[in-house]
Amino acid sequence: MLKYVLFDLDGTLTDSGLGITKAAQYALKDQGIDEPDLSKLGFFVGPPLNVTFMERYGMDEQHMLNAVAKFREYYNPIGVFENKPYEGVEEMLKACHEAGLKIAIASSKPEVMVYKVLNHFKLTSYFDVIVGSELDGRRTDKNEVVEEALRKLMANADETAMVGDRCYDMVGAVNHDLMALGVTYGYGTYLELKNAGADKTFDTVEDLKNYLLAACGALKKCC
């Protein structure tokens, strides 16, 4: 029976793409890379920034650090608020909390920014544990984030699910023997999620909520 759920944040609970892509655009321009089309920067949502700047643009460590600093120069005061919870998210978190599930955030986003987002949308109180990365680059890998969230929850793997919209979330779940639940309303595709090991995928927050409640015994299981 399901007792613990780890949620990714960006693309899973909140639609954060606008602020993240505008911050990426701002950072890239500082590096001499002009990308006027924000829709082409959606791959910035989810993965650690250092990985994206280095793998997508071939940046060395120093250029990557400069780009991350520029990203935060825009994102921290402005971009973080160019964001909104997906429809039904608060109702889902409230229902999970009332059903007795222990729920956590497991995000590659800096933990201080995770709190900023959750506090802004008044969602913080639903979570038993909140884990993100460190501003100095530590714990950006999803596997490390998941491991720390499990440790703080004192959760058993066979009673825990990881919910996310990108392959990194599914890989983090698989590597820790968790149920891997993918959402297709975020920034990853069905194929990406399935190829990364998703056990199930959900097209809406409502479908995800009903599954979680059924899996923990709060609803008669119907699927």
Known catalytic residues are 8
Q: Cα dist. 138→8, 22, 45, 146 in Å?
A: 18, 24, 19, 13
Where on the phi/psi map is residue 198: left (φ > 0), alpha (ψ -120 to 50), or beta?
A: beta
In angstroms, rounded to a whole number, what is the distance separating the alpha carbons of residues 68 and 53?
A: 8
* Residue whose C-alpha is closest to residue 164's, from 46, 52, 50: 46
Phi-psi category of 177—alpha, beta or left, where left has phi over 0 and alpha has psi -120 to 50? Answer: left
Residues forming beta bridges with residue 110, ordered by sequence position: 133
Sign for the pseudo-dihedral over CA of 158, 150, 173, 186: positive
Say what the alpha-carbon torsion angle 15, 89, 160, 222 is, to the nearest 10 degrees.
Answer: -120
Given a contact cutoff of 8 angstroms between Cβ atoms, the answer to whether 115 and 80 are in contact is no
